[in-house]
Amino acid sequence: MKNTKISFIGCGNMGRSLIGGLISNGYNANVLRGSETDPVKAQDIENTFGIKVYEDNTSAIKDAKIVILAVKPQNLLKTLSNIANQVKQDKSVVISIAAGVRIQALESILGIDHPIIRVMPNTPALIRAGASSMYANQSVTNSQREMAEEIMRSVGITIWLDNELLMDTVTALSGSGPAYFFLLMQAMEKAAIKLGLPIDQARLLTLETALGASKMAINSEVDTATLQHRVTSPGGTTEAAIQVLLEQGNFEELILDALTAAQKKSQEIAETIGSSA
């Protein structure tokens, strides 16, 4: 698989992350190509990774086994239309990492018989700690699924969905999720400062606590509810805080409302983009 020719349409943050991840996992720079309209950025990518970067999308994807669409969602359908003939000629597997663009919209350009995979990564992929959810249309073979999974595993873990509509839930959970944790950490840090800790100490303790809790959850054989109860001693300080979050703050209901709002917005974006296909 590491000799598979892969082309990236768009070499922004996510594209760069995937390129770097693949090279770190043993892919030769000679089999990777990209497209970038900004000549300064293109030169930086060539210098950093040693891959060939083209200004023209069609030249970048010629003879590629896999074409990764890493452009903004609002530009995706136009970009794909411009390279559709080359993609069809080379029978390239198309992987889209654009949020909110459903496979049906891509099939309206390439046809239902063309192999298309939709991926929802998240920003921790930039440090190769991402979580990517994947959905394939009926034309994708098992070997093509394996190739796509290997690509996304270069920047984190992957899961496959059986229902594309669940992508909206995934977007609300893992796609937007890092921002929720950042907000919680920000609130904890501010609270600690108000309660007397110096700024640098409040920040360090907040970040290390978040990291430690995450590692414990990942490495544990029990669920997060059990872990939470283990930390929460009856009549102790943790229980006092948890009661405020659950009883006064309606914490679980608030999180459900937040994810529901994000899911609904994802659906609205998908419908808007789909209507323009």
- Could you list the residue range(s) of the whole structural domain that residue 37 is in? 6-170
Number of domains in the chain: 2
Residues 198-211, mean pLDDT to the nearest whole number: 98
pLDDT at 69 over 90: yes
pLDDT at 276 over 80: no
Domain shared by 143 and 184, yes or no:
no
Percent of the chain with pLDDT over 70: 99
Mean residue pLDDT across the chain:
95
Domain shared by 210 and 137, yes or no:
no
pLDDT at 277 over 90: no
- Domain boundary at 128, 153, 170, which? 170
Better-scored residue on pLDDT, 271 or 2: 271
108: confidence class by pLDDT, cuts 50, 70, 90: very high
97, 121 in Cβ contact below 8 A? yes
C-alpha distances in angstroms, 225 versus 104, 159, 207, 259? 38, 23, 21, 19
Domain of residue 68, CATH code: 3.40.50.720
pTM: 0.92
Domain shared by 13 and 146, yes or no:
yes
Residues 143-172, mean pLDDT to the nearest whole number: 96
Q: Is 134 helix (H, G, I), strand (E, B) or coil?
A: strand
Domain shared by 12 and 133, yes or no:
yes
Report pLDDT for 201: 98
Domain of residue 233, CATH code: 1.10.3730.10
Domain shared by 60 and 144, yes or no:
yes
Q: Is 129 helix (H, G, I), strand (E, B) or coil?
A: coil
pLDDT at 129 over 70: yes
pLDDT at 90 over 90: yes
